Amino acid sequence: MRKKRFIYTLAAVLLMCSAASVGAGCGKSSPALLDSFGTHLDTLMTSKDKLSKMDGAAADLCVIENEDEFSENDIEAPAGALFNITDQKTLYSKNANDEREIASITKIMTALLAMKYADLSQEVTISYTPEGLESSAVLCGFEQGDKMMLSSLLSAALIYSGNDAAIDIAIAVAGSQEAFVDMMNQESKELMTSHTHFANPTGLTQSKHYSSVYDVYLMFQECLKYPTFRDIIARGSFLCYYTNAAGENVTKNFNSTNQYLVGAYTPPDGITVIGGKTGHTNTAGYNLVVLVQDSHHKEYVAVILGAATKDELYNQMNTLLSKI
């Protein structure tokens, strides 16, 4: 409370100083000073403060007021949070506004733009050949001339985390990766994210490509408004039907990267994992956002970023889910 009172008092002083400068000389630097203050104010404001500036659509969002209250039950992962999205309550938060690489969790924004601005039933002809991607990049193996529905690319990107599928979506929706990235950053601003910037539609390592636990929650929550998204992320596998450049029918099976859905890890008793999105690169570590349900059918979103290993990721996620 004292911090908030200080912030708003400082804002008032700066505004009065700016007004006085017209006749009395607070100096020409006042506008720059106010701009600088605005930047710091955004950093200091809690998520509750920021959402108060939004319209009624923000009423269904969880907020983080003070992470210190959760320190006694700290998780080992660098950053994470747990949100009760049925009752709009934050149950846990650690370093939720730290800017971090999120790897393929990026693809939830790629999916959001496809669902929001494109016709998922449209046929897409693959025109992109993956070149220059990092050696560990997951690829579906689609080739130039292949034809499939945009919905199939969406499933391949979310379930299997295919990077070529994500790039193909970007080109189909915006005409180029560059134009699509512009759309991603604009959409991110509209969702009131404060610690997110995109440089590609995949999440592969690139400078100025980052997000935060809380911003991942904001993007994921928006995606959950689409039944198609909920359906796709809940699948343990996906059969992709398409035709190749020669007109031949092709079928490929893609298994989910979400280890809960393929039975490799089990959530705590009473918790059902509905679905989610994974992300991993050597620099980002292991990352996961999941939608879960308790025995009373209440829904929760949990996020872990930066785990050192896959085992640590799922063990820490279970620690987080045990707080429900």
Q: Which residues does the annotation mark as catalytic?
A: 104, 107, 161
The continuous run of DSSP H or E covering 252 comes out as strand 249-255
Strands 249-255 and 147-149 turn out to be unpaired
Q: Which two tokens stand for residue 70?
A: 């959760």
194: left (phi over 0), alpha (psi -120 to 50) or beta: alpha
* Phi, psi for residue 87 in degrees, rounded to 5: -105, 5
Q: Which two tokens stand for residue 175?
A: 């005409």
The DSSP bridge partners found for residue 275 are 291
DSSP-derived secondary structure letter, 122: S
Q: Nearest to residue 187, comparing CAs of 106, 255, 297? A: 106
Cα dist. 230→234, 283, 285, 292, 301 in Å? 6, 29, 25, 11, 13
The torsion angle over the Cα atoms of residues 160, 163, 165 and 170, rounded to 10 degrees, is 140
Q: How far apart are CA 172 and CA 214, in angstroms?
A: 29
> Binding residue per annotation — 147?
no
Q: Which two tokens stand for residue 127?
A: 């025109």
Q: How far apart are CA 109 and CA 107, in angstroms?
A: 5
Angle 84-87-89 from CA coordinates, rounded to 5°: 50
Q: How far apart are CA 205 and CA 106, in angstroms?
A: 11
The continuous run of DSSP H or E covering 2 comes out as helix 2-24
Residue 178 makes CB contacts below 8 A (sequence gap 6+) with none
Please state the residue numbers annotated as binding site for substrate.
Answer: 277
Please state the residue numbers annotated as binding site.
Answer: 277
